């Protein structure tokens, strides 16, 4: 049995050579592809009756891949989007093998013919001003840990950073003096600069005072770098506490990403143009940022109220003034 027949050497080359050296994909994409194969190969070995280390390329049949995708949705309880992400990794592996081994072109074609599932586009979730204020007031800032948690929540709201971007932030990435800003490493290993509000500068200055610039900004209880999972748990914890003063939070799924959406919607309401918001959040395309204009009910209501309907019986035009983001920040 040659190496061109065994699946193992192909997987090794795919993960270590193709994704890293040839395509230079981001760490998160590499991890996603790795996790897909970590789930797929044992599943395929069980259904083909073959040990993983002796599995051939042909043992991974299109039928097994389809069963795996059903397993992802029905047993693991993943969404259609996650199912499609797993399939994209399998497609990429099949393309990699097919382009380098003429013997497996037919196999690769069959695997890549497995279609993606059409999924409904869910509306993004974001917090209203009162809800965001309740979330920021939840940490007990009289304690060192509470002050740190407040700084994390405020930084997420200010920057619109993803959880892993906040977790990977180093002290040297902060510029807290003249023209305060933060340098964030985002998707595709691209950096972006985001301005910091005075209240954020104050919170971060207390947090990093006297520390080495190569240290992570946000540390856990054991003074180790926080992970994105730790930041996720922190946000959900304070969302539950905040729901006592803002009951509407109980019906919402609050996460670091919904705080990111909140940043975009609040900036948009305050009159910031869509292209600036795109750069603020690190979106590659404006199409991604335009979704915030579609979901903001307050702006839609304002637009509706500004329409002249004097000719309709019993109707009077109303104009609503949007609250200023800076006015909200002064209350923090």
In tens digits, what is the pLDDT along the chain, a chain of 332 residues?
A: 555 689 999 999 999 999 998 888 878 889 999 999 999 999 999 999 999 989 999 999 999 999 999 999 999 999 899 999 999 999 999 999 999 999 999 999 999 999 999 887 666 788 999 999 999 999 999 999 999 999 999 999 999 999 999 999 999 999 998 899 999 988 777 889 999 999 999 999 999 999 999 999 999 988 899 999 999 999 999 999 999 999 999 999 899 999 999 998 888 888 888 888 888 888 877 666 767 766 655 555 554 455 455 555 555 555 544 455 656 566 66
Q: Report the distance separating Cα 323 and Cα 261, nearest Å.
A: 18
Active-site choice (18, 83, 104, 257): 257
Backbone φ, ψ for residue 6 (5° rounding): -70, 145
Give the number of other Cβ atoms within 10 Å of residue 89's Cβ.
20
* 112 closest CA partner among 125, 99, 126: 99
The active-site residue, picked from 83, 91, 104, 260, is 260
Query: Domain 129-330, what architecture?
Result: Orthogonal Bundle (1.10)
In the set 183, 187, 206, 237, the catalytic residue is 187
**How many alpha carbons fall within 13 Å on the CB side of residue 134?**
19
CA distance 315 to 207: 54
| Nearest alpha-carbon partner for 196 in 183, 212, 215 | 183
Measured between alpha carbons, how far is 255 from 135 in angstroms, rounded to an integer? 11
Is the CB of residue 47 less than 8 Å from the CB of residue 62? Answer: no
Those residues whose C-beta lies under 8 Å from the C-beta of residue 66, and which sit 6 or more positions away, are 114
Report CA torsion sign: 143, 145, 148, 152.
negative
Listed by start position, the domains of the chain span 7-112, 129-330
Active site residue 261: no
In order of 165, 194, 196, 220, 277, the CA distances from 174 in angstroms are: 13, 10, 9, 19, 20
Residues 115/101, Cβ–Cβ less than 8 Å: no
The CA distances from residue 247 to 181, 233, 242, 244, in Å, are 34, 20, 8, 6
pLDDT at 304: 47
Backbone φ and ψ of 79, nearest 5°? -80, 170
DSSP lists the bridge partners of residue 241 as none
Residue 160: partners with Cβ closer than 8 Å, 6 or more residues away: 194, 259, 260, 263, 264, 280, 281
| Residues 21, 39: Cα–Cα separation, whole Å | 24
Give the Cα separation of 151 and 319 in Å (integer): 36
Entry pTM: 0.70
Residue 175 is among the residues annotated as catalytic for this protein = no
Q: What pLDDT does residue 312 have? A: 56
Using CA of residue 20, residue 25, residue 28, residue 32, what is the dihedral sign?
negative
Active site residue 141: no
CA-closest candidate to residue 53, choices 5, 20, 85, 19: 5
Q: What six digits make up the tokens of 31?
A: 């991890």
Which residue in 104, 162, 261, 269 is the catalytic one?
162
Active site residue 321: no
């Amino acid at each position: 049995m040659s190496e061109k027949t065994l699946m193992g050497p192909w997987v090794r080359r795919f993960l270590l050579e193709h994704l890293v050296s040839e395509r230079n994909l981001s760490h998160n994409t590499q991890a996603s592809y790795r996790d897909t194969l970590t789930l797929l190969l044992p599943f395929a070995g069980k259904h083909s009756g073959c040990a993983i280390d002796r599995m051939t390329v042909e043992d991974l049949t299109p039928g097994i891949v389809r069963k795996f995708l059903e397993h992802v949705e029905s047993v693991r309880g993943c969404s259609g989007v996650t199912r499609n992400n797993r399939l994209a990794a399998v497609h990429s592996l099949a393309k990699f093998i097919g382009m380098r081994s003429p013997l497996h072109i037919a196999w690769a074609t069959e695997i890549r013919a497995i279609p993606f599932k059409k999924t409904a586009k869910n509306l993004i979730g974001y917090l209203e001003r009162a809800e965001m204020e309740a979330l920021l007031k939840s940490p007990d800032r009289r304690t060192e840990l509470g002050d740190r948690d407040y700084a994390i929540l405020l930084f997420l709201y200010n920057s619109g950073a993803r959880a892993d971007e906040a977790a990977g932030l180093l002290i040297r990435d902060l510029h807290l003096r003249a023209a305060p800003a933060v340098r964030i490493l985002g998707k595709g290993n691209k950096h972006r600069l985001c301005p910091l509000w005075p209240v954020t500068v104050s919170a971060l200055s207390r947090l990093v005072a006297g520390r080495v610039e190569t240290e992570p900004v946000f540390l856990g209880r054991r003074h180790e770098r926080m992970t994105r999972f730790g930041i996720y748990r922190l946000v959900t914890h304070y969302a539950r506490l905040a729901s006592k003063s803002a009951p509407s939070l109980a019906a919402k799924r609050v996460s670091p990403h919904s705080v990111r959406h909140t940043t975009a919607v609040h900036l948009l309401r305050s009159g910031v143009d869509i292209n600036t918001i795109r750069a603020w959040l690190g979106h590659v395309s404006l199409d991604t940022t335009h979704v915030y204009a579609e979901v903001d009910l307050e702006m839609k209501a304002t637009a509706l109220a500004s329409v002249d309907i004097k000719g309709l019986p019993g109707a009077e035009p109303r104009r609503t003034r949007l609250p200023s983001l800076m006015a909200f920040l002064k209350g923090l």
